[in-house]
Amino acid sequence: MTALSPGTRLFDSAELASAFTNTAAITAAVAAEATARDAAITAAQLASTIRSEVPLTGDTITLTAGQRLLFVNPAGTIATLTVKLPPTPVAGQIVEMSFSQIVTALTVQDSAAGAVASTAGAVGVAIQYRYIGSAWTLWT
């Protein structure tokens, strides 16, 4: 992104609408800015958004508000694991989980311990849940 020079004139939305009749050019400019912004995200920033856990059989992982990426990395196969999804979700919120080892019985609950969905044998896969209406839903 280029810094503005002193004296640079900014346009209001009406001026922009009349100045740009080619919406494809506007769309391309917006996409280019978004790409540049996304490229500026560092690996450290990205890694800090992924929660990584090394659970044991019978453990419960409780996600906090705003957490959306969970990497489950046990030392080996575990028999049971419970994951509680974040509290106070908003419509369309997404939580993704990935597993490095087999979890024989995975239980997924909302933050109040209400059953959401369970799966068996999760390994090397990503599972996605979305908050739709008033409930978490397994997104397949």
Query: 89-125 pLDDT, tens per residue?
Result: 888 888 999 888 888 888 889 999 888 866 655 555 6
Mean per-residue pLDDT, 50-76:
93
Give percent of the chain with pLDDT exceeding 70. Answer: 59
**Cβ atoms of residues 125 and 103 within 8 Å:** no
44-139: CATH topology is Jelly Rolls (2.60.120)
- The upper half-sphere exposure of residue 73, i.e. CA atoms within 13 Å in the direction of its Cβ, equals 7
Q: How far apart are CA 134 and CA 120, in angstroms?
A: 25
